[in-house]
């Protein structure tokens, strides 16, 4: 197999960071939808060492210096907590930023692109789909613990790296505008999906209403708790570190839990082209509830938040389905796609999961009540 590509200006990017040794290999890495991720290996006197180079998508993240300020604060805070708990073994339990030669948390290339470097977390991997209950429980425990670690983050309110990121009313209005403008001429062919989204408009306001009434509160949240944003140990399968910190900002814990349900209690991949294969798997849902409420965040959540753990999965799946549909209508400007119907297929599979979650609401409520759902 030939060496996979890196951008032509990669050597200049590498030179902006004080890394020891000679670059011996580099290539694309991971499976994210947003950033460009590469791994690079260096040969130095002390041996071989790998790093992750990421070009942050600044069309999506409009203020990268602010984003990197969040990342710097969050990685330092989490590292100090993990260090206090685990000592030297903590090195791979959180992302470690490598500052650029000028001390900044990122470097810019000649075209104005933003690059950052993390230590490579060795001996670990990510999965795009949960395959067993132990994995779901462990991922939920890791994300729950991570949220609890951020509960006492010192300093000012974090920057909103994408304004209104999980503001479902705003996501709904963006979809409505895309349907009206129809810039790619695709709306006529997706009336069923548009109708599905519009029929659930009231759901868009449910958590926002609770927030407005003070029943639930804003906290520091991860906001992208997809299963492939937690690294798992190659040997034991245990969770190693929560990654992908770009959307850490003020949010609702229910967004994080809902995103776990969407990606970790579902029967197939997010972009399975056959929506009939997609449904909620209740044993995985139970494992998520147990892992999440059994983690340190269990002591942080109030009763109103617990009561919405069933709805949260539906809301985030609905939101993601709307976002994929919006991107399809807008001509595929946001997510990386591999073929022209990719976003539409993702939308259909998400909406199939919404339907399945609706059918399972009572049972999910029972599972929450049976677990640690009551104080
Ligand atoms: P995106 O926002 O595009 O999803 P991520 O930060 O999640 O970007 O990175 C993409 C993938 O790269 C991850 O799913 C993971 O497999 C891998 N990855 C990211 N950071 C590291 C790291 N520090 N060590 C090893 N692998 C990593
Ligand atoms: C994106 O970056 P990645 O692939 O982890 C997206 C999430 C979506 C997800 C859908 C910044 O996540 O919000 O839920 O795709 N991230 C951003 O797979 O938009
Ligand atoms: Mg990711």
Q: Where in the chain is the domain with CATH 3.30.200.20?
A: 10-121
Which CATH architecture fits 133-371?
A: Alpha-Beta Complex (3.90)
**Short-list 303, 324, 224, 294, CA closest to 264:** 224
Is there an atom of ligand 1 within 6 Å of 32 CB?
Answer: yes
CATH superfamily of 10-121: Phosphorylase Kinase; domain 1 (3.30.200.20)
Nearest CA to ligand 1 atom 6: 244
Nearest CA to ligand 1 atom 4: 32
Nearest CA to ligand 1 atom 1: 32
Q: How many CA atoms lie within 13 A of 340 on its CB side?
A: 3
48 phi-psi bin (left φ>0, alpha ψ -120 to 50, beta other)? beta
DSSP of 214-281: TSS--EEE-S---GGGEEEETTT--EEEE---TT-EEE-HHHHHHHHHHHHSBSS-TT-S-GGG--B-
What is the position in ligand 2's atom list of the atom closest to the CA of 223?
13
Portion of the chain with pLDDT greater than 70, in percent: 98
Could you report the per-residue pLDDT of 189-225, keeping only the tens digit for each? 999 999 999 999 999 999 999 999 999 999 999 999 9
- How much is the mean pLDDT over the chain? 95
Angstrom distance (rounded) from CA 14 to CA 9? 9
Pocket of ligand 2 (CB under 6 A): 32-34, 60, 224, 226, 229, 244, 246-247, 270, 320
Q: Where in the chain is the domain with CATH 3.90.1200.10?
A: 133-371
Across 130-143, average pLDDT: 96
Is there an atom of ligand 1 within 6 Å of 366 CB?
Answer: no
Best of 26, 28, 29, 60 for a ligand 1 pocket test (most atoms within 8 Å of beta carbon): 29
Confidence of residue 87 (pLDDT cuts 50, 70, 90): confident
Could you report the per-residue pLDDT of 41-83, keeping only the tens digit for each? 999 998 999 999 999 999 999 999 999 999 999 999 999 999 9
How remote is the CA of residue 294 from the centroid of ligand 2, in Å?
26
Element (H, E) at 22: strand 22-28
What is the position in ligand 2's atom list of the atom closest to the CA of 324?
10
SS3 state of residue 292: helix
Q: Estimate to the nearest angstrom the gap between the alpha carbon of 366 and the chain centroid.
A: 27
Is there an atom of ligand 1 within 6 Å of 353 CB?
Answer: no
Could you report the per-residue pLDDT of 2-14, keeping only the tens digit for each? 345 899 999 999 9
Nearest CA to ligand 1 atom 23: 120
301 and 148 Cβ atoms separated by less than 8 Å: no
Confidence of residue 30 (pLDDT cuts 50, 70, 90): confident
pLDDT score recorded for residue 58 = 96
How remote is the CA of residue 243 from the centroid of ligand 2, in Å?
13
What is the position in ligand 2's atom list of the atom closest to the CA of 247?
11
């Amino acid at each position: 197999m030939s060496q996979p590509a890196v951008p032509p200006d990669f050597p200049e990017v590498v030179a902006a960071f004080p890394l020891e040794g000679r670059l011996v290999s580099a290539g694309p890495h991971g499976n994210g939808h947003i950033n460009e991720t590469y791994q690079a290996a260096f040969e130095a006197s002390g041996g071989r060492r790998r790093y992750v180079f990421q070009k942050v998508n600044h069309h999506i993240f409009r203020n990268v210096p602010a984003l990197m300020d969040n990342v710097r604060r969050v990685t330092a805070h989490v590292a100090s907590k993990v260090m206090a708990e685990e000592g030297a073994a903590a090195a791979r339990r959180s992302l470690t930023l490598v500052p650029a030669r000028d001390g900044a948390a990122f470097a810019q290339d000649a075209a104005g692109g933003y690059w950052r470097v993390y230590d490579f977390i060795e001996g670990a991997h990510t999965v795009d789909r949960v395959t067993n209950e132990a994995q779901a429980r462990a991922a939920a425990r890791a994300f729950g613990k991570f949220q609890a670690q951020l509960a006492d983050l010192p300093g000012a309110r974090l920057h909103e790296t994408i304004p209104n990121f999980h503001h479902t009313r705003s996501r709904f209005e963006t979809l409505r505008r895309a349907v009206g403008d129809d810039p790619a001429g695709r709306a006529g062919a997706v009336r069923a999906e548009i109708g599905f989204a519009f029929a659930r408009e009231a759901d868009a306001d449910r958590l926002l209403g609770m927030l407005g009434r003070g029943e639930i509160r804003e906290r520091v949240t991860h906001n992208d708790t997809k299963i492939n944003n937690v690294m798992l140990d190659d040997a034991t399968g245990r969770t190693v570190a929560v990654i992908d910190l770009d959307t850490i900002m003020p949010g609702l814990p229910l967004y994080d839990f809902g995103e776990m349900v969407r990606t970790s209690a579902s029967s197939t991949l997010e972009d399975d082209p056959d929506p009939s294969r997609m449904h909620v798997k209740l044993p995985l849902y139970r494992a998520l509830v147990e892992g999440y409420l059994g983690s340190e965040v269990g002591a942080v959540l109030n009763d109103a938040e617990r009561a919405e753990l069933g709805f949260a999965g539906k809301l985030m799946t609905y939101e993601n389905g709307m976002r994929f549909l919006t991107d399809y209508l807008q001509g595929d400007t946001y997510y990386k796609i591999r073929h022209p119907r990719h976003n539409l297929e993702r939308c259909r599979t998400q909406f199939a999961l919404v339907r399945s979650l609706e059918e399972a609401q009572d049972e999910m409520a029972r599972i929450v009540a049976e677990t640690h759902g009551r104080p």
